[in-house]
Amino acid sequence: MGSFSIWHWLIVLAVVLILFGSNKVSNLMGEFGKGIKSFKQNIADDDSKKAKDASMAATSSLTAPLPETSNSNTTVNNG
């Protein structure tokens, strides 16, 4: 009652194929596949860009100049 059996899905598939034709369904699935491929590619590019930015930040912090230390103007209270 709550879910469809395999026969229900086969009938729905047959009606869709009759209404739209197999060519349109095939083109639609092809476009859907291209969209998923593009999405995965963009996610991978985004991850690699974040990793590159993180590595650039790590290397730039290693090459940062150290603060100057000068002990000539400081006084120590030995009191």
Per-residue pLDDT reduced to its tens digit, 17-63: 888 887 888 888 899 999 999 999 999 998 888 877 777 766 655 56
Identify the residue whose tokens are 């940062």. Answer: 64
pLDDT of 23: 85
Q: 32-64 burial, b for 16+ CB within 10 Å, e for fewer?
A: eeeeeeeeeeeeeeeeeeeeeeeeeeeeeeeee
The structural domains of the chain, with segments of one domain joined by +, span 20-57
Q: How far apart are CA 39 and CA 44, in angstroms?
A: 9
Q: What is residue 7's DSSP assignment? A: H
Look up the pTM and report it: 0.44
Q: How far apart are CA 1 and CA 8, in angstroms?
A: 12
